[in-house]
Structure 1
């Protein structure tokens, strides 16, 4: 069959999404009305009339009724295995008070009779003012006969009871390990129940490791949860590896992917072992090659440069406001980080740094600058995550060094953890908290990630805070540094094409353009037309992954 003028008729689409408000995230044509999909890819974007010729006898046509259609969201920083397991092994995420935690822990103790360890994740540092250090007495009230070990929602602290301290052999005479400390009573020196950073390993050895089935179930849980939020891609921000590139996490990804349950695109970063040096490179490279061979995006390395602010393990340029001159310590020496950065950048690896304090941020930027000087613009798509405090002198360096600023937008508001942060660093440095707009205006790229399960993975909640800098649960608290808010268009970009960029997926996803995969999301309202303080209440009606529904149904209500 031929069209007018003898030209062959276009091949019909498999799926035609019509009567929509399509925000493409493509500067040349940011808005459209319809999208045509064939074999999981976008074959046309335009008006309903422009795409009418792609309707065939077998084309499924879905009238979106004027609803907003976006490229699916991405997440530039998540911990899928940790997050999934944290929701299966005695989760404390729903607790809001210490009494809630005791009730949840008691239920877990009752549900698993015996004398073994009870382990869980999800307590909030802010419930232990003034410094986020938990107390063993709260857990001792539940049980003094079984080891109780609970990881903070951020993963930087353990909360343990007296029995866990006893079984682990932790006493007043136990020395603090490098890059960690045992929280102690200042008068007696006795452990009080908190273990920070590397000291967590003293008790973690008591916790049974997850089974292969648990690891796989955690990834499947994450995929389904993220799909329900409109997310079809993530960056796994640091997985362990062993000799010859062995990795139980990669084994779990392979099993989930081969069984067809991995409904997302995944980039993985290998966790740099701060206790080692360049001798780990061969095993790291091998692990990365294994990941690439199974269809994941790899060649990324995660460096933990420092810790967190309330417990004063984040590295600051100047001493904390109250702490006798302490300013934290870097978890990796500047010289070692620079050496690793130069070598890895030269081999095409992405450098991904966890840096929370302004000192940690500067150390990371200095290392990236050394790599740039040694290797030129190698195109590694480097990024620094968290950026709780960034000194004004360092804010323009992200653009100068072509380093992406990877923020958790939900953190940039007033809430109890922020109160601990501001108390720890004082008023002047509190004006440098999460300077998203300043870094963006200097010409750098933003990429958003939730650090899930530390915070909600919901991009719509993140978008609301990014543009308002206000806690949706406590709007009366007002905005945190409102001049650091970004526009909604900028925030959407930081959740879509710029996540795809840092994940090295921007050739395939991140915007609605011909040739890209049909990873798309339909919302129940147009976030560009509602008050900004209502964006977070928006619901995802439909998530498409390669043109097929992984959340919701093509039959629009």
Structure 2
């Protein structure tokens, strides 16, 4: 008998049998003393009672158990994604998808078509454009959108999540005009020559328009449900949602899913720290929203703190200046927070109970994240136990490598095909020189004794954990040397980063039966073929949340 979801109350699944025995499987457990097994049994609470040989467990539990026979398929602990944008990924499915690069006339035509498709929407919404190319065009980008759509505001999300493009109606909706100063952590882009507004808003300035254009609660909830299905299809049983835009009510959509029984993953989610908000007001909101109850499938126990932007926009914070600055106003990149205010926030959030999740791209941002943890007034053991982490972690100065281990800061990486492509590194070398060839130093941090995780950053990058494992093993530099390590970084070590490795991340007695069934044993295929494996079933707490057709 296999179980499925119902929708009556939070995590209200069909009641499990008293005992369920999983047999005839190749089970990679990640338990150090027993890495492989043939069978395991779990109880009505979804807790594993025993794991080991099929003969032994069948003799002991078979007569009193519901049997799941997997016909020799492989089982892994459920994948855990420590950096993923869940509601946004679902919401973005309904946007008009534009090419990353095109001329302005092409974009004008496509936006006109998008406006017709979205005739009933109060905003025209699209995504996918590389706004780097639009900052110095002869014609102002805002004028192009004004011609394309004169009667409604337009929002176009960039392809990297760090900028938006809007029209004059969009600026008015966001209460931005020629005299509006750049907000803390953001750039209201102006033409370098005329100083006219271009309609491009970079880094945190984009939140002014995103907040004004936020979909209604029903659209956010439906986007979340769609994304949850995609997570289950990819064998993901735990996430940490890295958006956390509470001013757009993303957290309310998650809570509704928990309340209505439609939540199909464990979620240790982030809440976004807005650089321009009043500190006292923001801390009050974050204190009210904090939840780290280990018995809850849904927790809000992480603070998402952007420290810089991205290399492509010249907003990544660098210790040494860019060789060719993208923006002459920021020769060494851009900071979201002033140092003193950052340290105040980190101290206050740590005292509330939050773990920090720092967005860092440049090596200066990485250093500033480590500095802010080192500056916390508290016991070293308590600080290490909180498991603060950096994410992206593109560049790390050699002097800062050992600090990850000494401070107990976890380094989270995304090693998608685009970011690890040598052509992308050649491109970045034009701006930052040879530093471009030391991006995403996963193996260096591992060799330095740091705790490391791999995540997706979906939907900016592909979601598949199997693809992540493959890329981590096959990338041209800083590749991981073993499949065992790569699997651990998306299961047990990810569980450690999220603070529930005592109950998830490996398949052992006393832990939850969170597991994924694959159509082949990935230890039996070449590394470059791992992503071809298919997820057949996904179980969370013993409940099946996905089965392939």
TM-score (norm 2): 0.86
Q: How does 1:153-168 map to 2 (within 5 A)?
A: 153-161=159-167, 164=170
Match of 2:360 among 355, 360, 370: 355
CA distance in structure 2 between the aligned counterparts of 1:446 and 1:130, rounded to whole angstroms: 39
Q: Does 1:108 align with 2:114?
A: yes
Query: 1:130-529, aligned counterparts within 5 Å?
Result: 135-136=141-142, 139=145, 142-143=148-149, 146-161=152-167, 164=170, 175-204=181-210, 206-207=212-213, 209-241=214-246, 248-275=249-276, 276-277=278-279, 280-289=282-291, 296-323=298-325, 324=328, 326-371=331-376, 374-378=378-382, 379-410=385-416, 412-414=419-421, 418=425, 420-427=427-434, 429-469=435-475, 479=476, 482-529=477-524
Deviations 1:386-425 (A, max 9, x none): 1111111112211111111011121541177655533322
Match of 2:34 among 29, 41, 48: 29
Partner residue in 2 for 1:544 = 539
Contact persistence 2:255–2:298 (CA under 8 A): no
Using the TM superposition, give the Cα deviation of residue 182 of structure 1 relative to its aligned residue in structure 2, in angstroms.
Answer: 3.2
Say whether the 8 Å CA contact 1:241–1:284 is kept in structure 2: no
Q: 2:225 & 2:452 partners in 1: Cα distance?
A: 28
Structure 1 residues 484 and 335: CA distance shift in structure 2, 3 A: farther
CA deviation vs aligned residue, 1:309-338 (integer Å, no higher than 9, x gap) = 111112111111212571123211222222
1:206–1:303 Cα change, 3 Å: closer
Matches of 2:224 and 2:353, distance apart in 1 = 27
Counterpart-to-counterpart distance in 2, 1:102 and 1:418: 31
Q: Per the alignment, do residues 189 and 125 of structure 1 end up closer, same or farther by CA in structure 2, a change over 3 Å counting?
A: closer
Name the CA distance, whole Å, in 1 between partners of 2:355 and 2:234. 27
Q: Deviations over 1:85-104 (max 9, x none)?
A: 1122x1427x4653896676
- C-alpha distance in 1 between matches for 2:503 and 2:159: 33
Shift of 1:13: 6.9
Residue 298 of structure 1 and its aligned partner are, at CA, apart by 3.1
Q: Give secondary structure in 2 for the equivalent of 1:421.
A: helix
Distance 2:254 2:173 in 1: 34
Structure 1 residue matching 2:437: 3-state secondary structure: helix
Report which stretch shifted further, 322-331 or 505-514. Answer: 322-331
State whether structure 2 residue 48 is matched by structure 1 residue 46.
no
Structure 1 residues 147, 248: closer, same or farther in 2, change over 3 A?
A: closer
Distance 1:161 1:272, change over 3 A: closer
Deviations 1:281-313 (A, max 9, x none): 343222104988965233322211111111111
Which whole-Å CA distance do the structure 2 matches of 1:180 and 1:407 have between them?
24
Which 10-residue stretch deviates more, 152-161 or 120-129? Answer: 120-129
Partner of residue 531, structure 1: 526
CA distance in 2 between counterparts of 1:343 and 1:115 reads: 40
Other structure's SS at 2:42 match: strand
CA distance in 2, matches of 1:418, 1:13: 54
Over aligned residues, Cα RMSD in angstroms? 3.1
- Tell me the CA shift for residue 66 of structure 1: 2.6
**Is the Cα contact below 8 Å between 2:537 and 2:544 reproduced in 1?**
yes
Pair 1:78 & 2:84 matched: yes
The 1-side partners of 2:62 and 2:230 are apart by: 34
Conserved in 1, the CA contact under 8 Å of 2:290 and 2:354? no
- Secondary structure of the corresponding residue to residue 394 of structure 1: helix
Cα shift at 1:121: 3.2
TM-score relative to the length of structure 1:
0.85
Gaps of 5+ in 2: 1-16
How far apart are 1:179 and its partner, in Å? 2.3
* 1:527/1:295 CA distance change after superposition, 3 Å: closer
Unmatched 5+ stretches in structure 1: 1-11, 470-478
Count of residue pairs the alignment pairs up: 522
